[in-house]
Every structure is written in structure tokens, then in C-alpha cells.
Structure 1
Amino acid sequence: MSVERFIAGIREALDGPAVVTDPSLLAKYETDQRALMTGRACAVLRPRSTAEVVAIVLLARENGVGLVPQGGNTSYCGGATPDSTATQAVVSLERMTSVRGLDRIGFTISVDAGVTLQAIHDAVGSAGLAFGLSLGSQGSCTIGGNIATNAGGIAVLRYGMARDLVLGLEVVLPDGSIFDDMRALRKNNSGYDVKQLFIGSEGSLGIITGAVLKLHPIPDTHATAWVKLAENPPLGEMIALARRESADLITSFEFLSPRSLALSHASPPVLEGGSGGALLVELTSSTARIPLDEVLTGLLEEFFTRGWAEDALIATGGRQRTEMWRRRELLPEDEKAAGGSVKHDISTPLSSADRFMREAVDAVRSFDPALELSLYGHVGDGNIHFNVLVPPGADRIAFTAMIEAELSPRLYEIALEHGGSFSAEYGIGRFKRGLLDTYADGRKLGLIKSLKTAIDPGFLMNRGVLLSE
């Protein structure tokens, strides 16, 4: 391995701003989003094109230097953070920000991997179209990272995960060749759908440099409600009823527990919950011909009749709707301001969601009755963020280590007993690698390892993420 020779070669291949070695400038690329891990990169490389990514990969392979692909560095699992050896270079796609093409007839957009999710929303919105992936971090996260982690978000119920929104990909492989499948085809049965290997691979099989994305008509008609829940609401039954009664026009169905709502630093809170917390329910349509407010009103009446809701407010304008969404989207920041939390990104089948939450809460109470929980998430698609709040005055890092060692395994076991997963949308990264070894089906894990060694036998790409070497 020759880090010095690699950096010298990179300086010849790329322009000055593309190569960052100043320690004071490296810092923001070396620490994960939650500040749970800080690594050491030998350099941060900022290519402007796919050709420059190829040059980086070839030089890295020649000199034995590992590469860590990085988008907006918003991973919750350390998936875009270098290790501590200073033998890996971060490849930031932040300068690859071109919109390559927008097809209004075919409802597709082609983009560089470094385009932020917000920039995609802005570009397609001006054309009367919409992209179905929405995240709280969309101002900083990039589409390459979203695809590499198979991101979810607030509209999975309607549009699916990132995997469901990708039509084509361009990927630089560990040998420096380019996998080019940038085709906007919705039907293409020509053998294995190879692009799917890279979606959710967390940069471990190659560097995504471009994507063709599926678009939809812009949902410019909304009906949004803030529902104050009665105690112990049957969330699974509620979402099933909501889908039927709305003709599946539900885009989002977000649950917020009473403790999560109490974390708000707004005084007094603008929107409060009932004894069972709150729901944020939104129906959308691309046409005003469908009376969404009437549909939503009818749904809420059913909730009241069945004793599931105490009160509800339907947004009467954009300002109220924005405030409702702001209340939901600020929850991670509210947790952080309160001292942080140990996050459990759990999913279960909808029919098991209520039983999982009851049993998991009981497990926490048995472990330590003083612990407080912040439960919220995209209950419409079975994704529950089951977060243990850091007690006042406790060291966040030490508390996190203790919970993950002593309590988290039981929570994951309960999720798996109900047919669920320990990682719904955050991925594996560095932090959950041991969980994958413990809980993944043995045959699946074997296939993952076989794919890794077949495509990246030298473990050039994101070594230490997803799999140990």
C-alpha cells in the first residue's frame, strides 16, 4: 500500500479543489451524522464527473487504498465514515450535481449522484411532476446516498422505498469499469436486474454516479389532518381502514407517541396529542376533481365512531399543513435537544405492529422502569422508530453502548418474533454489522458475502461497512 503515491497521482489526475488533505477541512467528512464515530481519512476526493471517479478508483486499486463513497453524510449507521487507519479516502460526490435530463412525457429524470434530494424535488416540481422520496434531511442528503442505502421516508406507503423509484443506474465498479444501465425503461426482462445489487449495498460494491428516477404527477391537492388519539389505539387496524376508505390515496400515516410530543421545545406546543399520542394523516391527489377533504372527513368520523380518536383538526390552508409537518419533522431534533436517544429502526408487518409495541415497551419496563421512550414513525409502512431517551445527566456515548449491549438485542428479538427487521430504513453501516451477523438468515448472509467477494475481491469499496473483511 502506498498512500503517498496514491495522493500524488490523484493530484495529477484531478483539479486542485478536488483533493482535500488539510486536517481542518477533513473533519466534517470524518465524523458520522450522530457524532458517534470519528475516523481518519488520508484524503477527501471531490470528483466532478464519472470519468474522474474512474480515475480515482483505478489509482486506489493500483495503490491499495480503500475508498469510502459519501453523499450528504447523513447516515445514522456510520455507513459513510472512514475507519481510523488513515488508509481510506472519502469520495464525496458533492460536486456532481448535474440534472442530465427531464422527460415530462415519460415521467423520468436523469441526474448525477451528488444532486440533493431537495434539488430533485425543485427540478421536477417546476415541470408539474413529483418524486416520491421525501426525507427530513432532503436539503443535505444526496440521491446517490439515498439509493445506496435504499432510503425510505415519509411517503413509502404511497410510492415505496428508493428501490421502487429507480429505473436506471450508472456505477463505477471496483475494477474501474462502468456499469451503465441509464435506461428509462419500466419493462425490461433481459436477464438479471443487475442494478438492484447496488441499491441498498451502502457503497460496498461500487460508487453510484448517476440514476434515472421514476416520477409521478405532482400531488398538488392535499387533505391533511392532525388526529388526537385515544389511549391504546389499534394502529394496524386504523391504517387498513384508512387505505380502504380513501381508495388508497393515503400518502402518509405518521404516529407520534405522547412522550415524543412532549419533547417539543415550543411553548406552549402548537399541536398536542391525545392520551394515545397523535397521528398525522395526509391524502394527496394530482386532480382537484376528487373531494379529498370529504374523504378525509368520512375517515375521521369512522375513527371517532370506533373510539380510536379524541379529536382531530383538518388543515384549512398551507400554513396549518406546514405546521403539522414541522411538528413531525422536528422530532429527531427535539430528541437531540433533550439529550439524545438510542435509536432502534424497527419494522414489522402492519398486522403485528401493535403487539410488537406492547411487548417491546414491557421489555423496557422490565429492564429499567425509569427509562423513557420516544416512539414515532411511518406506521403506515410498519416502520417504528423505537428510541430510548438518554437520561438527564447521563453520558450519551456510554448510555448508548450499555443499551445496545443489554437491551437492544431483546427488542430486536421481539421484532423478529413478529416477522420484522432490526433495520427498516437506516441500513447496516458500521454500527449494525454485528446485528447482521447475528440476525440475518445464514443463506442470505452467505449470498451477500459471495457477491461482495465476486465484485470487490480486494475489499476496495467501503471496507468495514456491511461486512467485515
Structure 2
Amino acid sequence: MPQHDDLAPFHILLGDGGVLTDPGMTDRYTRDHRDLMQGSTPAVLRPRSVEEVQGLVRLARAGGFGLVPQGGNTSYVGGATPEPGRRQLIVSLERMTRIRAVDPLNFTLACDAGIILADAQRAAEAEGLFLPLSLGAEGSCRLGGNLGTNAGGLQVLRYGMARDLVLGLEVVLPDGALFSDMRTLRKNNIGYDLKQLYIGAEGTLGIITGVVLKLWPAQAQRATAWIELAAGAPIPEMAATVRRETSDLVSTFELISASSLDLVAAMQGAGTGLKAGPGGAVLLELTASSSRIDLDAVLMGCLEDLMERSWVTDAVLAQSEAQRRAMWAVRETIPEGEKHAGGSVKHDIAVPISNITAFLERGAALLAEHLPEVRLSVYGHVGDGNLHYNLVVPQGRDRLDFTRAIEADFAHRLYAAAIELGGSFSAEYGIGRFKRDLLVRYADPARLALMETVKRSLDPDGIMNAGAML
């Protein structure tokens, strides 16, 4: 641990409340979201401006400290948790939450990177606009973390990942210099698109301090259905049919397995009021900014088509906003249901949409062969090829021991199946500290070499989030 004098320059720079050192105050910053890792830090730094971020970076470099940028600390892969022994200071932008500008005619929002995602959504809504980035943790995650991990979420099918929503970016570099590209332009071909280097880089190349996001017209109406799937329902064909038959008005197409639904019901101590068919269930939602479109009629016609093809056994249409919210509450409570059951080992799988059925079949065969006693919880954004393929910790087993056992063997079988089908072991969670060995194991050597070259070039002293990703 550093001496008190080592932190004195940071106290002078950041003022009252800008430096936290008391373990009682820093503990929530040093423990990862899933309680898999307890990190340590000499201090948590809480700047209030871009200039203060620049200053603290220069001080850290001069003092031999590492820096770990942290948003809402909701990472599933330990991407924002400082490692013991690395002498890393946490940089939290939680005091940098300013909305800088909302342009209703240009459909853009400029803001500090420390703003909570839900607050950014509300700022857009206040101007009759819509920010489509939506996550289960949107009430606590922060935009800097969303961009650092290239967050996905519930509406990637229609609007893309976080990087697809970014027009401009502001980043403090490892030497304290400022890269400011906060333009609101949609066409701007002036060389390398440098901002994309920092999106998905997990804070290893710099600290994102500001962003310009694309917005859309506010959603005037929604049509939502809970769909019970028939046995063997071809999910890829269903997703493609729904997109075609609704003129691509689909914002979400979420698969929910019967076992995941049961976990929610068990946690609540009663039925959810919703059922899964033999093939599971899909939560489907259409949205439109125009009230001239009869969205309910479009959805009904689409569902009739699916039933005629014998892909759907039954469907429930939300008749009110309360019913819609109840459907979404079931989907968003699945992680909590897994935790209530004893926890789970999470696999964030991506495969081409056309190969989802093949992956589910291979995964089921692997589980039957190697872990027939383990309960499965499968759900996710199958409209964009992302499956959360989670193994529930058996009763009586220690969660951490079970996690280590799965990650040492079965997880690699699962990842191999995904990769053989053109997929990935990390769809939207990122690499962090928990998956860096997987990156070495599965990444193309040329790709990994390029990543290391970029890291060495931009952060030669290795002060930015050392231990994450690389």
C-alpha cells in the first residue's frame, strides 16, 4: 500500500470527496458484480471534469500507479475490478453526469460518460426522442462502461450494439492528452475512425469521458406478445419470418426456456401467469414511432402465420402497459431467479442466427453426455444470435468450486461447439479478467498480435486497466 503522501497530489487535485480511501467506502468498488473476485485499491478517484481526469492520469503515471476505469461496476467478467498487488487506482466517473446537449433535429445526445444509462434515456425522452440502448442493469450501469464493453442488450436486433449508436467520443489518453471527437456528423470520412478503438477496449487504451449518441423518434406505440413455442420450432426461420412480415418493426425477439421460466416462478413462490410451450417461449415486441400504423393488427397477422406453420401453440398479447411490463419483468428476473436457486455459471454465447438451433442441439447433447444431473437455464437475444447458456449450481455444491470445475472442462466443450458453428465465447459481456485466458486460447494469433501492438503503442507504460483483456 502506498504511503499517505503518495495520494496527497490526488487530494489536492480532486478536492473534497474526490479521493476515497476508507475500506468501508471503497469495498463496493473493489468487489466484482458476481462476487467472484475481491480486488484491492489504494484509493477510488472521483473526478468532476475532463480536466481533472487528465490531471489524475498524469499524476498516476508520474507516481507509478495503474488506473482502472469503472462505470456502474456491473461487469460480468471482472473488467472493472482492480487486481491485488497491481497498485491500481479506481477511476469512477460517477460525479461526471452532465447532459451537454440534446439536438431534436439532428437526433443526437451529447453527455458525460459517467451518466447512468436510464438517465440518458430519460433525457432523450424529454425531447420526444428515443435512445435504444437498453440493459437489465440500465438503472445503475453508466455510459462509459457501456461503451468500454460495447454493450449489447435487448434491442440489438434493430439498432445494433453500443458502437453502432456512437457518433462522437471524448477520451483521456494514457499520457493525459485529450482525444476529442465529439462531432454530431453521420458522414465524416476524414481518415481512420479512431473512436472505434476505444469502444469495446474495456478501458485498456484510455478513459472515455464524453460521448455523442444517435437517437431515434420516440416510440409512439408498442405491440408485445408472449409466444409459446411448439416442439422443434425452427427459431431462425421464425425470427426471419417475423422480421419480413412486420416490415422489420421488431425491436426484440427473446427466447426463454421452460427451465428459466421455472426458476422465476420458484423464486416468486407462485406461477408467473405465463407458460412455455414444448419448445420454450419467445417474448416478441414491435415498436413504431408513428400512430398511423396499426401495430396490433400487424402483430396478429404475423402470429396467425406462425400458428398456421405449426411453430406456435399459443400466444398472449399484452392488452395494457401493465401486462406488457409483467411480461418483461419475467424476462428480466431470470438472472435473479438463477441466483435464488444457488447461482449459475454463465456462458455468453454468440452464433450466427441461422445456427441457433444447431447450437442448442449440440449443447443439449453435451450436457446429457457430461453433466446429466445439472439444470440448464437458457435465454437470450436470439434475434441477434446471442444466447445466455447458464448452468445452475446443483444444491449442496459450492458455487465457486462448481464454477471452477465447469470452466476447466465443460465450458471449453461448449465454446468449441459455438466456434465450429461460426460463433464466439463472448457475445456482449466482453473479456475482462475472467475471460482473458479464453482470448489467448481461441483468438486468431494475428488478431491477438494486432491487439497487443495497439496496446503497446497507445499505453507503453501499461497503466490503463492492466490485467483486463490482455
Q: TM-score if structure 1 supplies the norm length?
A: 0.98
Report the alpha carbon displacement of residue 220 of structure 1 after superposing the two structures with TM.
2.2
Residue of structure 2 in register with 1:168 after alignment: 168
Whether the 8 Å CA contact 1:347–1:382 is kept in 2: the answer is yes
Report the alpha carbon displacement of residue 126 of structure 1 after superposing the two structures with TM.
1.2
Whether the 8 Å CA contact 1:21–1:44 is kept in 2: the answer is yes
Residue of structure 2 in register with 1:388 after alignment: 391
| Equivalent-residue separation in structure 2 for 1:289 and 1:6 (angstroms) | 64
| Equivalent-residue separation in structure 1 for 2:260 and 2:212 (angstroms) | 37
Q: List aligned pairs for 1:454-469, cutoff 5 A.
A: 454-467=457-470
Report the alpha carbon displacement of residue 307 of structure 1 after superposing the two structures with TM.
1.1
3-state SS, counterpart of residue 127 of structure 2: coil
3-state SS, counterpart of residue 82 of structure 1: coil
The one-letter code matched in structure 1 to 2:100 is R
The one-letter code matched in structure 1 to 2:330 is R
3-state SS, counterpart of residue 61 of structure 1: helix
The count of corresponding residues between Structure 1 and Structure 2 is 467
Residue of structure 1 in register with 2:232 after alignment: 232
Q: List aligned pairs for 1:103-118, cutoff 5 A.
A: 103-118=103-118
The one-letter code matched in structure 2 to 1:421 is S
Whether the 8 Å CA contact 1:373–1:389 is kept in 2: the answer is yes
Report the alpha carbon displacement of residue 364 of structure 1 after superposing the two structures with TM.
1.3
| Equivalent-residue separation in structure 1 for 2:205 and 2:197 (angstroms) | 8
| Equivalent-residue separation in structure 1 for 2:458 and 2:201 (angstroms) | 12
Asked if 1:418 corresponds to 2:418, the answer is no
Residue of structure 2 in register with 1:156 after alignment: 156
| Equivalent-residue separation in structure 1 for 2:3 and 2:156 (angstroms) | 42
| Equivalent-residue separation in structure 2 for 1:319 and 1:156 (angstroms) | 24
| Equivalent-residue separation in structure 2 for 1:274 and 1:288 (angstroms) | 33
Report the alpha carbon displacement of residue 11 of structure 1 after superposing the two structures with TM.
1.0
Residue of structure 2 in register with 1:406 after alignment: 409
Residue of structure 1 in register with 2:325 after alignment: 322
Residue of structure 2 in register with 1:245 after alignment: 245
| Equivalent-residue separation in structure 2 for 1:297 and 1:455 (angstroms) | 53
The one-letter code matched in structure 1 to 2:42 is C
Q: List aligned pairs for 1:60-459, cutoff 5 A.
A: 60-85=60-85, 87-264=87-264, 265-266=267-268, 267-459=270-462
Q: Which shifted more, 63-72 or 226-235?
A: 226-235
3-state SS, counterpart of residue 47 of structure 2: coil
Report the alpha carbon displacement of residue 232 of structure 1 after superposing the two structures with TM.
2.3
| Equivalent-residue separation in structure 2 for 1:204 and 1:327 (angstroms) | 36
What stretches of structure 1 move > 2 A for 4+ residues in a row? 1-6
The one-letter code matched in structure 2 to 1:357 is L
Whether the 8 Å CA contact 1:68–1:89 is kept in 2: the answer is yes
| Equivalent-residue separation in structure 1 for 2:311 and 2:232 (angstroms) | 8
Report the alpha carbon displacement of residue 2 of structure 1 after superposing the two structures with TM.
6.1
| Equivalent-residue separation in structure 1 for 2:178 and 2:3 (angstroms) | 24
Whether the 8 Å CA contact 2:113–2:208 is kept in 1: the answer is yes
Report the alpha carbon displacement of residue 365 of structure 1 after superposing the two structures with TM.
1.2
Whether the 8 Å CA contact 2:272–2:330 is kept in 1: the answer is no
Whether the 8 Å CA contact 1:41–1:82 is kept in 2: the answer is yes
Report the alpha carbon displacement of residue 13 of structure 1 after superposing the two structures with TM.
1.1
3-state SS, counterpart of residue 263 of structure 1: helix
Report the alpha carbon displacement of residue 268 of structure 1 after superposing the two structures with TM.
2.2
The one-letter code matched in structure 2 to 1:154 is L
Report the alpha carbon displacement of residue 3 of structure 1 after superposing the two structures with TM.
6.0
Superimposed CA distance per residue, residues 138-178 of structure 1 (whole angstroms, 9 cap, x where no aligned partner):
00000010000000000000110000000000000000000
Report the alpha carbon displacement of residue 230 of structure 1 after superposing the two structures with TM.
1.1
Report the RMSD for the aligned CA atoms in angstroms: 1.0
Identity %: 54
| Equivalent-residue separation in structure 2 for 1:241 and 1:154 (angstroms) | 19
| Equivalent-residue separation in structure 2 for 1:181 and 1:432 (angstroms) | 31
Report the alpha carbon displacement of residue 6 of structure 1 after superposing the two structures with TM.
3.5
Whether the 8 Å CA contact 2:49–2:96 is kept in 1: the answer is yes
3-state SS, counterpart of residue 200 of structure 1: coil
The one-letter code matched in structure 2 to 1:32 is D
| Equivalent-residue separation in structure 1 for 2:438 and 2:5 (angstroms) | 37
Q: 1:7 to 1:86 in 2, by over 3 A?
A: farther
Report the alpha carbon displacement of residue 4 of structure 1 after superposing the two structures with TM.
4.5
Structure 2: unaligned runs, 5 residues or longer? none
Whether the 8 Å CA contact 2:436–2:469 is kept in 1: the answer is yes
| Equivalent-residue separation in structure 1 for 2:312 and 2:3 (angstroms) | 61
| Equivalent-residue separation in structure 1 for 2:405 and 2:2 (angstroms) | 39
Superimposed CA distance per residue, residues 390-448 of structure 1 (whole angstroms, 9 cap, x where no aligned partner):
00121000000000001000100000000000000000000000000011111111110
Whether the 8 Å CA contact 2:66–2:86 is kept in 1: the answer is no
| Equivalent-residue separation in structure 1 for 2:189 and 2:349 (angstroms) | 33
The one-letter code matched in structure 2 to 1:30 is T
| Equivalent-residue separation in structure 2 for 1:138 and 1:369 (angstroms) | 35
Whether the 8 Å CA contact 1:3–1:42 is kept in 2: the answer is no
The one-letter code matched in structure 2 to 1:45 is L
